[in-house]
Copies of this chain bind each other. A is one copy, B any other.
Amino acid sequence: MLHGDRTDLLGDVVGGAEETTTGVIRLRSLAEAGKLKYPIIAVNDADTKHFFDNRYGTGQSTLDGITRATNVLWAGKKVVIFGYGWCGRGVASRATGMGAHTIVTEVNPIRALEAVMDGHQVMPSREAAKIGDIFITLTGGLKAISRDHMELMKDGAIMANSGHFNVEIDIEALEDMSDGKREVRPGVDEYPLGDGRRLYLLAEGRLVNLAAAEGHPSAVMDMSFANQALTAEYLARTARNLAPAVYPVPRDIDDEVGKLKLRSMGIDIDSLTDEQQRYLESWDMGT
């Protein structure tokens, strides 16, 4: 099975490099606390990893997981996306592409502005809770959907997580609010609330693209794996000279992955001429 798990064990092979932004944040706080025991390369932060895996991979596979679980029609649905990082951007873009009306919630003002100017509606999550048909969490954080939100949702609302662990939706609160649950389709749990409303939780709140679909397509995982493989080889050569800290993927590895990928797709690109290269590097040419 191809997988898009952004916190997978394979990370250990390349020096414990967590793939999620959440993972990298945690490693850095571990390093700052002086508790990191060996050098780490943040593979997730490679351009050929996070620009592609998190955006195009998660974008497509999240919709795929929800479609396979529910066979819902996306056109005309109000889809609420929690978090406008690379994953949220990808999902929002693909949901728009399927004809949905997209609503984004954010805590970061700059990401919120980007979402607005990309054509999405932005509002506080409690406003969005009242009108959404499908809710997708991609925050990398805790309880993006809380009891307060679920109290406001419409009958029939669908909730899925495609961020990281099964902590982005407060499942404990949902269990507490409802009178039992039943699986209405594989991976779709119906939670009847006392007031007649029914809420639907997909894949028990786990990553819906892994649990209900096949994770990222191989055409996007290949770049992530190439980064991991080339970085592991790099660490094998250099680790003994590196202090315990979180490092970026070397620029030339990242570029090499990009070139290999383009070649595999049969796409040629330009090169800078010497004159163009000199111009970009200089401060005394031109106007």
User: Interface size (A, Cβ < 8 Å)?
Assistant: 91
Q: Kindly identify, within residues 75 to 123 of chain A, every residue whose CB is under 8 Å from any CB belonging to chain B.
A: 75-76, 93-94, 96-101, 105-110, 112-114, 116-123
Q: Which of A75, A140, A254, A273 has the most CB of B within 10 A?
A: A75
Q: Which of A30, A71, A96, A106 has the most CB of B within 10 A?
A: A71
- B residues within 8 A CB of A75? 56, 59-60, 116-119, 220
How many copies of this chain does the complex contain? Answer: 4
A38 within 8 A of B: no
* Given A56-B99, A113-B261, A283-B27, A71 contacting B2 (CB threshold 8 A): yes
Interface string of A247-287 (1 = CB under 8 A from B): 00000001100110110010111111101100111110111
Q: Does B124 contact A265, Cβ atoms closer than 8 Å?
A: no
Complex Cα–Cα for A165 and B272 (A):
18
A225 within 8 A of B: no
Complex Cα–Cα for A113 and B64 (A):
22
Complex Cα–Cα for A8 and B76 (A):
26
A181 within 8 A of B: no
Complex Cα–Cα for A94 and B96 (A):
10
Give the 6 A-B residue pairs with the shortest CB-CB distance, closest first: A97-B97, A109-B258, A73-B217, A73-B219, A26-B283, A75-B117
**Which residues in A have some Cβ–Cβ distance to B below 8 Å?**
2, 7, 22, 25-27, 29-30, 33, 47-48, 51-52, 55-57, 59-60, 64, 67-68, 71-76, 93-94, 96-101, 105-110, 112-114, 116-125, 140-143, 165, 167, 213-214, 216-220, 254-255, 258-259, 261-262, 265, 267-273, 275-276, 279-283, 285-287
